[in-house]
């Protein structure tokens, strides 16, 4: 496997040539330049064509000037050496460009003397590079194996959609346990609340399921992005590999797309009803949009269940053009009658108001008020008898939604059943209907 994932000599030379052009051009303008990340540490997997180049400004520069001057310099470098640029935003803006086929991030930061003096989150990154580079020794191959293992298992990446293991986290785990297999041996017995502190200097308690205290910042958990599900997925993969080592654990297996016909057949076999809300993707980065999608999904699941529609599963996806919120319902149509519970009768004043309000109704098919377990209750006509009517109503915009998702949902399409399928979301929909743990997936043909 190492023969397949170590960077080739020509890749290394190409990356070095780009660095040797960009760094002097930055320094010629009176600003420091530092390569950080896996490119600096030699821990990048073959085929990864990313370069993080930090522009180091004096720490006495105010934040507004850092952003203005940093972006101005980054744009100039991108225009001189690259094919245009894109402005992106982390804690503050930076420039992304493509230079000779290499994806380059030009990131302004402060040149601070210690990690305790950082003025923005990115200021910490150069210290990560120095820490790993000074200790990595002969562990590069183990780090490459761990990164490829995590990538193939679908748990690599600290982005909001993946909620998995960042490259720096993989490097720290190898430093802590001494080898690739050492990491897997430890991970096989992980449980929520696991704490790893290489420097034994944690300055506070953390509440995430996996805690890896940043060796350069005792107040930061490097693994804060790792969800409990992804932590346990990694543990499952570790157990599977240790029980039966195989090269398949390092080979990426994209989730197969589901065709339109097969998708419709699966829905019929399941006997459930699928709804989807499709709407334009907000013009923002994934780290902003995805948390808003998840918040909105939770709000809409609660809306459906408050109205009596049992949700079997729900999920969200962000594409370049559209976002999708999907809801698989156990029931999508309800009877006309609903039960509305009132106050207990020992709360005499409120109970009397409730009784008088509903007793004054004209005669009809709905019973009550009546007493049940010491409380008043009454039958009322159900406002939304179908999930389609509810999801198509303005009630959708009245729940807790992400700010930008709320705006995009005003232009939503409501899709149902086989109509939820599209080429754009075929892999996502395949995974939605055929959920399986990483180890289970590896055992499937």
pLDDT tens digits, the chain, 445 residues: what are they?
Answer: 999 999 999 999 999 999 999 999 999 999 999 999 999 999 999 998 899 999 999 988 998 999 999 999 999 999 999 988 888 876 678 999 999 999 999 999 999 888 777 888 888 999 999 999 999 999 999 999 999 999 999 999 988 888 999 999 999 999 999 999 999 999 999 999 999 999 999 999 999 999 999 999 999 999 999 999 999 999 999 999 999 999 999 998 887 788 999 999 999 999 999 999 999 999 888 888 999 999 999 999 999 999 999 999 999 999 999 999 999 999 999 999 999 999 999 999 999 999 999 888 866 788 889 999 999 999 999 999 999 999 999 999 999 998 999 999 999 999 999 999 999 999 999 999 998 999 998 886 6
Q: Which residues pair with 108 in a beta bridge?
A: 55
Closest by Cα among 445, 442, 413 to 155: 442
Whole-angstrom distance, CA of residue 327 vs CA of residue 276:
6
Give the homologous superfamily in CATH for domain 140-250. CCA tRNA nucleotidyltransferase, domain 2 (1.10.1410.30)
Report the half-sphere exposure of 93 (CA within 13 A, side-chain side). Answer: 17
CB atoms within 10 A of CB 370: 12
Q: Which residue ranges make up each domain of the chain?
A: 2-133, 140-250, 260-333+386-442, 342-376
Helix segments in 276-414, DSSP class H: 286-306, 348-359, 387-391, 403-409
* CATH number for the domain whose boundaries are 2-133: 3.30.460.10
- Say yes or no: domain 260-333+386-442 is CATH 2.60.40.720: no
Q: Strand 337-344 relative to strand 311-318: parallel, antiparallel, unpaired? A: unpaired
Bond before 369 cis per omega within 30 degrees = yes
Give the pTM.
Answer: 0.86
């Amino acid at each position: 496997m190492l023969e397949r994932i170590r960077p080739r000599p020509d890749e290394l030379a190409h990356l070095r040539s780009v660095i040797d052009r960009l760094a002097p051009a930055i320094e010629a303008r009176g600003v420091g330049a530092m390569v950080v990340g896996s490119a600096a540490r030699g821990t990048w997997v073959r085929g990864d064509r990313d370069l993080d180049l930090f522009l180091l400004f004096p720490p006495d520069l105010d934040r507004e000037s850092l952003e203005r001057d940093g972006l101005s310099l980054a744009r100039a470098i991108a225009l001189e050496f690259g094919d245009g640029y894109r402005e992106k935003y982390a804690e503050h803006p930076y420039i992304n460009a493509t230079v000779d086929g290499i994806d380059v991030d030009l990131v302004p930061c402060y040149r601070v003397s210690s990690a305790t003096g950082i003025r923005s989150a990115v200021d910490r990154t150069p210290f990560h590079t120095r820490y790993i580079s000074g200790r990595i020794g002969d562990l590069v191959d183990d780090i490459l194996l761990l990164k490829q293992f995590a990538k193939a298992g679908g748990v690599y990446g600290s982005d909001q959609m993946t909620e998995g293991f960042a490259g720096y986290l993989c490097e720290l785990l190898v430093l802590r346990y001494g080898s690739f297999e050492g990491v897997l041996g430890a991970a096989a017995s992980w449980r929520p609340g696991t704490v790893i502190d290489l420097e034994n200097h944690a300055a506070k308690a953390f509440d995430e399921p996996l805690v890896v205290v940043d060796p350069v910042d005792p107040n930061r958990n490097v693994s804060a992005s790792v969800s409990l599900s992804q932590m346990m997925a990694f543990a499952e993969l570790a157990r599977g590999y240790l029980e039966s080592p195989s090269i398949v654990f390092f080979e990426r297996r994209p989730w197969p797309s589901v065709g339109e016909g097969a998708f419709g057949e699966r829905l019929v076999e399941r006997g459930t009803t699928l709804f989807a809300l499709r709407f334009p993707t907000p013009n923002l980065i994934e780290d902003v949009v995805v948390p808003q999608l998840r918040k909105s999904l939770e709000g809409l699941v609660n809306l459906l269940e408050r109205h009596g529609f049992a949700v079997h599963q729900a999920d969200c996806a962000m594409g370049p053009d559209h976002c999708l919120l999907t809801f698989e319902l156990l029931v999508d149509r309800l009877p006309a009658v609903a039960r509305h519970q009132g106050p207990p009768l020992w709360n005499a004043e409120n109970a009397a108001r409730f009784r008088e309000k509903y007793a004054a109704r004209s005669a009809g098919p709905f019973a009550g008020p009546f007493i049940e377990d010491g409380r008043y209750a009454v039958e009322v006509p159900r406002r939304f008898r179908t999930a389609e009517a509810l999801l198509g109503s303005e009630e959708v915009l009245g729940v807790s939604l992400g700010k930008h998702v709320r705006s995009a949902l005003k232009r939503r399409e409501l899709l149902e059943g086989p109509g939820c399928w599209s080429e754009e979301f075929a892999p996502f929909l395949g995974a939605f209907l055929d959920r399986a743990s990483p180890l289970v997936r590896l055992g499937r043909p």
